[in-house]
Amino acid sequence: MARIVVGVGGGIAAYKVPGLVREFTEAGHHVDVIPTESALNFVGAATWEALSHNPVRTSVFEAVDSVNHVRLGQEADLVVVAPATADLLARVAAGRADDLLTATILTTTAPVYMAPAMHTEMWQNPATQANVTTLRNRGIHVPDPAVGRLTGKDTGPGRLEEITVIAREALALIDRPTPLAGVRAVVSAGGTREPLDPVRFLGNRSSGRQGVALAEALRDAGAEVELVAANIEVPAPDGVEVTAVTTASDLERVMRDAAAGADVVVMAAAVADFRPKEYVDSKIKKNPADDSAPVIELVRNPDILKGLVEDRGARAQRNNEGSAANEPGLLPRIIVGFAAETGDENGSVLEYGRAKLERKGADLLVVNEVSETRGFGTPDNTVAVLAADGADAGEFSGSKREVADFVVDAIAARFHR
């Protein structure tokens, strides 16, 4: 049984939070509810006390004899705040302690999970985004809100996530298994960009969401994680080392260096297959005298995944020959590749994936079908995890974080064989 503090912010979505309290109490957890004064305008203290079976207070000047503003935070195993309004996020980011809830958050050393809910404009405001970044950098878990119907006729990002999702994700912070504790993992994410001139580049539509989710999942499984980020469009996760790169050549150099000291390597970045043969120092301009377009000659980029596999093989051979006794670094036990594929008249997505796995020599290959509406930039994904030894992990569909957990489970199962 865990001791859970449920903080309730003063937003309309507070009416959903009694369901969260019930989820926790019916699972056998001890729950203390701390609403803000504003939250009591939406759901009264009697409801919270009936559901939690504990007294409800909002002020640091209540139950002073038990030093509640310190005790509740010190004793908590988990603090969950829902809805986390824009005002509440701002106060916690500023380190305020002007009511019982913010004082408790400031006191606790337990994991803190804040589920945002507000109008889209408030969520997207630079002030709110800066506060969220501050909180995440401090190790407070602030997921993006759901997208959907808001108050009135408004629709967009800012809806409180489903209660079952909040409960599952929050409890995972204290119930999380760590099958990869002590493992060093390197993950690439995003899409490389190959400059053509000072203004233009060749790139792809990868946002980095799946790679970032993999870094988070590996971190949560106990691994020490380095994220090699190629132009990602989402925030890097807390608690991981981040190295930024731009081009495929940059990515190759950093990944080869990092892989030499890693146990697990995951190549989730979308690497440009080609780059311009020549870089032009000034912007390529249209010729007003004719309608012709310049001819851009391309050359192939290095196959980074295949190179990592070859590096491992060469190092293993040197170790076997006794010539690498003083060579620093580890041998990656597991190398995972990603393949964004489309099927055609010559083969299916999985057929192309199996051929690529054999060609690259990786231990696992995560294959997903992509299109203009699937894969790149979307919140969900569908993948198949293929294994070089034929022990495929199967297919899975879900959010990119759920897909990441599925892939990490496959990695952990193989790592402990």
Catalytic residue, candidates 68, 204, 231, 381: 204
Residues whose CB falls within 8 Å of the CB of residue 408, separated by 6 or more in sequence, listed in order: 180, 214, 217, 218, 221
Using one digit for the tens of pLDDT, what is the confidence trace for 272-325? 999 999 999 999 888 887 888 888 999 999 999 999 999 999 888 877 776 555
Using one digit for the tens of pLDDT, what is the confidence trace for 310-320? 999 988 887 77
The number of helix segments (H) and strand segments (E) in the chain equals: 13, 18
Residues in binding site for CTP: 273, 283, 302-305, 338, 356, 360
Angle at 65 between CA 61 and CA 67, to 5 degrees: 65
pLDDT of residue 329: 56
Dist CA 49 CA 110 (whole Å): 23
pLDDT of residue 377: 55
pLDDT of residue 205: 84
pLDDT of residue 369: 78
What string of pLDDT tens digits covers the 417 residues of the chain?
Answer: 789 999 999 999 999 999 999 999 999 999 999 999 999 999 999 999 999 999 998 887 776 666 666 889 999 999 999 999 999 999 999 999 999 999 999 999 999 999 999 999 999 999 999 999 899 888 899 999 998 888 878 888 999 999 999 999 999 888 777 899 999 999 999 999 999 999 999 998 889 999 999 999 999 899 999 999 999 998 888 789 999 999 999 999 999 999 999 999 999 999 999 999 999 999 988 888 788 888 899 999 999 999 999 999 988 887 777 655 545 556 799 999 998 877 787 888 889 999 999 999 999 999 987 655 454 556 778 899 999 999 999 999 888 888 999 999 999 999 988
Dist CA 302 CA 79 (whole Å): 47
**Phi, psi angles (nearest 5°) of residue 155:** -140, 140
Task: Tell me 10's DSSP state.
Answer: S
Contact 265/335 with Cβ under 8 angstroms?
A: yes
Dist CA 301 CA 136 (whole Å): 35
Residue 391 has which token pair? 């022990």
Using one digit for the tens of pLDDT, what is the confidence trace for 207-232? 999 999 999 999 989 999 999 999 99
382 — alpha (psi -120 to 50), left (phi > 0) or beta?
Answer: beta
Beta-strand pair 274-276/298-300: antiparallel
Taking the complete model, does pTM exceed 0.75, yes or no?
A: no
Contact 376/207 with Cβ under 8 angstroms?
A: yes
Residues whose CB falls within 8 Å of the CB of residue 289, separated by 6 or more in sequence, listed in order: none
Q: Active-site residue 381, yes or no? A: no
Dist CA 219 CA 180 (whole Å): 9
Residue from 95, 99, 114 nearest 13 by CA: 114
Q: What is the DSSP string of 271-327?
A: --SEEESS--SS-----TT--------EEEPP-HHHHHHHHHHHHHHHHHHT--TT-
Dist CA 22 CA 20 (whole Å): 5
pLDDT of residue 237: 82
Residue from 374, 378, 302, 368 nearest 337 by CA: 368
Residue 385 has which token pair? 């995890």
pLDDT of residue 140: 92
